[in-house]
Amino acid sequence: MDKQYSNYQKKVIKGYYDNNETIKLQKLSELVTNLYLETSDKKIENGWKRINKMLIDLKVNEYQIERIMEEKDLELLSKKISTLF
C-alpha cells in the first residue's frame, strides 16, 4: 500500500529523520539522568539494557560500549554522551 503524504507531512517526516541522531542522544541523556535518581534494582537493570541498545543505534565504538556496560559507570557514560553532542 503506497500512501501519499501532504507536503507538510513530508517536511515533518524529513525533519524527524534529519534530527534522528540528536533525538536519540537526548533520550539517552534523559535515561542517564533517570538512572542517577533510580533506586529500584529492576528498573536500573532495564535502564542499562536500554542504554546498550541506544549506544548500538548511535553506532558507538563496540569496545567503548563493552567498557561502559562492564563498568556500568554513569559518569563514564555521561562523558561519552558529551563527546557525542
Asked, for residue 5, whether it belongs to a domain, the answer is no
Look at residue 2 and tell me whether its pLDDT is greater than 80: no
Residue 82 pLDDT? 83
Asked, for residue 4, whether it belongs to a domain, the answer is no
Helical residues (DSSP H) of 6-73, grouped into ranges? 7-18, 20-37, 41-57, 62-71
Domain limits for position 45 = 18-84
Contact in structure between 34 and 47 (CB atoms under 8 Å): yes
pLDDT tens, residue by residue, 20-52: 888 998 999 899 999 989 888 999 999 999 999
Number of structural domains found in the chain: 1
Q: Look at the pTM and tell me if it is higher than 0.85.
A: no
